[in-house]
A and B are shown apart, each in its own frame.
Chain A
Amino acid sequence: MPEYLYIHIPFCVGKCLYCDFLSIPFDEALAERYVNALCGEMAMRKDSAGTLRTIYIGGGTPSILSDKLFSTLFACLKANFLFSSSAEITVEANPGTMSGSAVRHMASLGVNRISMGAQSFDDDELRTLGRIHSSREAILSAGLIRESGFENFSLDLMYGIPGQTITTWRETLSQAVSLRPKHISAYELTPEPGTRLYELIGSGRLVMPDEDSIMEMLDAGLERLSSYGYEHYEISNYALPGYRCQHNLNYWDRGKYIGLGAGAHSFSKDIRSQNLGDITGYIECLERSELPLEKSAPIGPEEAMREMIFLGLRKTEGMALHTLAASGLDIPGCCADLLDEGYLRIKGNSLCFTQKGLAISNELLVRIFGRLGL
Chain B
Amino acid sequence: MPMQLNGALMMQAQPKMSDVKISITTGEFAVREALENLLEALRPLGLDVEEAGTIELVLAEAMNNIVEHAYPPGDIPGQISVACSRKPDGLRFCIVDTGRPMPNGETPIGLPVDLDVDFTDLPEGGFGWFLIKDLAKDVVYRRVDDANELTFRLALAG
A in complex with B: no
